[in-house]
Structure 1
Amino acid sequence: MADVHQTRSQIWKVGLIILCLSVTVSVTLSYPLVTFRSNSTEVRCLPPPDLSTCPLHTANETVTPVKGSMHLMVSAYQDHRKGGATRIVAMVNRDRPMSLYCVLCCSGHAPQVVPAAVVTHSVHYGYPYVAADILCREGLGCNATHVTLSTSLYSQDALNRPFLSIQNRERREEDFPFYLTVCMSSMFGDYNNVQQFVQTMEFYKLLGVRRVVLYLTSCGPDLEKVLKHYAEEGTLEVIGWPINHFLKPSTGWEAQELEGDIHLNGQLTIMNECIYRNMYRSRYVLLADVDQLLVPVSHSSLLPLMEDLQGQHPDAAVFLMETHLFPATAGTATPDHSAQRRAPGVDLLDYIYREPVLEDAFRSYKMVVNPRLVLQTAMFEVTQNYGDTVRVPSDVCKIMQVKKAQRESWTNEQLVLDRSLWEFGDDLVPTVDKVLQKLGIQTSPWEWETLVG
């Protein structure tokens, strides 16, 4: 029996050597923004004592540091559009480029170490850390299930690092669990805007949305109760976003104005991660901020809106919806009642004056995308995609955002009266009130009849 065991062991080793020698991997991928990669095309196989031991450890946080580097991994997805390459969503330091290697757990085979191609995104607003895609090509015979990164082809502890589970291994082109998913970027600080968040969630539910994804760093105590409610209901998926454990995230825009390692709490990474997370779960994905609301004007819900838009533009992959600012300093619709009938936060129904769109002014957009046709997105536009991009007229739908006015001198006479959200008020008000009462958040009865007269 010992001879038989020895013979089998020798056969296994010979087969492993043949497999490794037969592997040819090219890392010259068809991406225009590859900024650094290993010059090596060598593939190393790592036979563990037992094939079932890979991975030894899986990452238990959304953000995982790459040992020996200043880079961070977030998640991993199989990209069927690029020959099945594994795409690691990451944040890398632009000032410290270095070669990286993908360590792949191969189902039924020995793990492999292959060179990685690092694709940094073009938009970074001057901060040292930037959103990136790290691309791994499997060697022959490897059906990868998990992946991690190493700074050396010959690392002695490659298998002892935290591995990411490779998601999206099965491709789907129809019968998605959700029609449209809202990706809400990140929430951080002591954000406690309960009134607006509940209105936003209930409004999207009225429009037919059944899944909202939120990346959470921190929030206020009242809002924490609200998030728990919607998560238990099944409408909200909360993704922990502990970026502050590893970087000093900026809470704003330009690096020249604010200190920090990465733009706006890593929002660009979040937007791209959410696209890949929902690639085969949702027909469409809306990319918007927590304080932004997609308001249909010509339709009563999102399904007929998107069906009409897609029917008019069958080759479109990206639909740009223009953002309209409703100044927080403008007069509200119900000054006599606003302080008595709201939970903590902004009551969107109060704001009916928006800034006019000036001909030479910068226009901001948020996007509804077909995630299977998007490779990479920035804040206001998709930067790499298949298919066409369509700008949707504001009389069809718009993005509503209440914030400080860009120009302090606006008067109500100069602003545009816009009651688009009021069209949904009769249904929205009682559902919001019901949630606030259920959660025990104090608010007086709604005075909607006073608003609409």
Structure 2
Amino acid sequence: MCQNVLSSLLCRADGMLQLRVLSYILQPSVQPAVPHNKTSGDAVVKGPPAHLLRVSGSKTLLVSAFLEHRTAQKKVLVISIMFREEKLALQCNLRCQEKLYVSKAVIEIHWDHFGFPYGTADIFCPLPSGCETPTHVAITSTGTNNTDKSDLVFLEVENQRTLNIFPYNFTSCFSTMYNYTNILQLVQSLEMLQFLGVNRVVVYKTNCSADAQRVLDYYSGKGLVEVIPWSLSKYLNVSRKALPTEDPGDIHYFGQIPALNDCLYRYMYRSRYLALHDPDELILPLSVYSWLELLPLLEKDYGADSCYQFENNYFPSEFTLPPPAPVTLPPLEQWQNVTGVNILTHLYSEPVKPKPAFNNFKIITNPRSVFAVTVHGVLKSQKVCAWVDRKMARIYHVRPRGQIDVKPQQLIYDGRLLSYSSRLTSAVNAVLRETGLLPEDGMN
């Protein structure tokens, strides 16, 4: 079974006496949507894992809370999932130095809900006088009668500090991983990302195979990967597709968008740059070999501390065509018994649609310049995102395309991945051997 980092959930009863003497608090209406061990007094859901809490009497789910420093007046942002047609008034219960303050919540539902009934929402909590540094927040529905406070469940308010010293240069956010069995491509992607300069990968995981979990555990032990349990499918009918016409449900694609927004804020002050993409997508520079080398070029051409959009290119894994002479593929027979796609054997891309047709894209951005993100790009930011010239860098997206109308003779050879093949083959072999996924005779 996939490891669940919810074991770090902590419950505390500190401050219980102070809370009980406050008579103006409305009925507690935040109910944990995931089981937790509750003690007497108020329960505190400890960060950093993303949790799902339901506001009782409503359809709203709370994901995580962060202190927003960049607005004219500081406030708390609670990333949420809301039923768009529900008319709801909420209030914020803010804990500051073990005292409790109340403010009226402001709700903003993101417009990128793709037509599903539920969408990502920002719940903003203005900071009352005397509460400049709240440590925890509980969201309750207004108009309730019970003033019992013992069942309030608080989210920890993260991003308390805004130091300009970042432990990570580049962080990649993967969302969301479900029914995942693509072992070989996962290892190849994680090794490629390290070549590119990524030193943190955040995986929002619903479920995966035992072998995939073995790989995640290996990279977690190395300090590269952080696995965030993402159990939204337990509480909503999640769609597996981008549109309700393709797969009806309550929310878009396993709740991908709230997960991406959580990752944005979670690493806002921990990573210099943030990349939002999937495990089967690689943003490859064409004139240099890493993002560390690429970023100065982007900053020179498009501005520093900005948001950069990279055009997607599909390399359909249904086609395995030989490269043109005199190019030869490295010997890769040792991986034939490893589950998953081998990106080094898929070197032909579909033709790029001419503009103004939409060619989807992913981004690398300074997270501190962005307020809200979506699957492709940003919704709200301090700077306009720049399109990166595809001759400078672009996405290599190796995945099954299903029924496509492109014929093999229409595909375009692109051997850029082979520039990394020698290092990549050696690195992947080492990981597969250390995780026990490559038999000893597979090294011969």
Identity %: 32
Structure 2 contact 316–399 (Cα < 8 Å) conserved: yes
Partner of 1:441: 437
Structure 1 contact 207–302 (Cα < 8 Å) conserved: yes
User: What is the RMSD of the two structures over their aligned residues, measured on CA atoms?
Assistant: 2.6
* Cα offsets for 1:53-81 (capped at 9, x unmatched): 99821226621111221100000000001
Structure 1 contact 374–386 (Cα < 8 Å) conserved: yes
Partner of 1:422: 418
1:323 aligns with 2:312: yes
Write the mapping of 1:148-297 to structure 2, written as runs, cut at 5 A.
148-152=138-142, 155-172=146-163, 174-189=164-179, 191-297=180-286
1:345 aligns with 2:336: no
* Cα offsets for 1:9-44 (capped at 9, x unmatched): xxx9xxx99xxxxxxxxxxxxxxxxxxxxxxxxxx5
Structure 1 contact 92–130 (Cα < 8 Å) conserved: yes
1:299 aligns with 2:293: no
Q: AA paired with 1:341?
A: W
CA distance in 2, matches of 1:158, 1:295: 53
CA distance in 1, matches of 2:250, 2:102: 30
Partner of 2:3: none
CA distance in 1, matches of 2:213, 2:115: 33
CA distance in 2, matches of 1:113, 1:317: 36
Q: AA paired with 2:342?
A: D
Q: Which runs of 5+ in 1 are unaligned?
A: 1-11, 18-43, 47-52, 448-453
CA distance in 2, matches of 1:407, 1:255: 19
Structure 2 contact 334–443 (Cα < 8 Å) conserved: no
Q: AA paired with 1:432?
A: V
CA distance in 2, matches of 1:152, 1:175: 40
Q: Secondary structure at the match of 2:212?
A: helix
* Cα offsets for 1:414-434 (capped at 9, x unmatched): 111111111111111101001
CA distance in 2, matches of 1:358, 1:208: 30
1:358: Cα distance to partner?
Answer: 2.3
CA distance in 2, matches of 1:383, 1:362: 17
How many residue pairs align between the two structures?
400
Partner of 1:451: none
CA distance in 1, matches of 2:89, 2:203: 32
Structure 2 contact 65–78 (Cα < 8 Å) conserved: yes
Partner of 1:27: none
Partner of residue 59 from structure 1, selected from 42, 45, 48: 45
Q: Secondary structure at the match of 1:254?
A: coil
Q: Secondary structure at the match of 2:142?
A: coil
1:413: Cα distance to partner?
Answer: 2.6
Q: Secondary structure at the match of 1:271?
A: helix
Give the alignment's TM-score, normalised by structure 2.
0.84
* Cα offsets for 1:108-137 (capped at 9, x unmatched): 5x2012110011000111111101110001
**Further displaced range: 130-139 or 251-260:** 251-260
CA distance in 2, matches of 1:298, 1:127: 41
Partner of 2:354: 359
Structure 1 contact 88–135 (Cα < 8 Å) conserved: yes
CA distance in 2, matches of 1:315, 1:119: 29
CA distance 1:129–1:158, shift in 2 (3 Å): farther
Give the alignment's TM-score, normalised by structure 1.
0.83
Partner of residue 114 from structure 2, selected from 104, 125, 132: 125
Partner of residue 369 from structure 1, selected from 365, 371, 374: 365
CA distance in 2, matches of 1:106, 1:312: 45
* Cα offsets for 1:397-428 (capped at 9, x unmatched): 11111233476342333111111111111111
CA distance in 2, matches of 1:135, 1:55: 26
* Cα offsets for 1:256-286 (capped at 9, x unmatched): 2312111000001111111100000001000
Structure 2 contact 319–408 (Cα < 8 Å) conserved: yes
CA distance 1:312–1:257, shift in 2 (3 Å): closer
Structure 1 contact 129–262 (Cα < 8 Å) conserved: yes
1:332: Cα distance to partner?
Answer: 3.6
CA distance 1:272–1:54, shift in 2 (3 Å): farther
CA distance in 2, matches of 1:175, 1:316: 15
Partner of 1:38: none
Structure 2 contact 25–147 (Cα < 8 Å) conserved: no
Q: AA paired with 1:349?
A: L
Structure 1 contact 285–368 (Cα < 8 Å) conserved: yes
1:139: Cα distance to partner?
Answer: 0.8
Partner of 1:431: 427
Partner of 1:92: 82
* Rg comparison, structure with higher value: 1
CA distance in 1, matches of 2:321, 2:334: 14
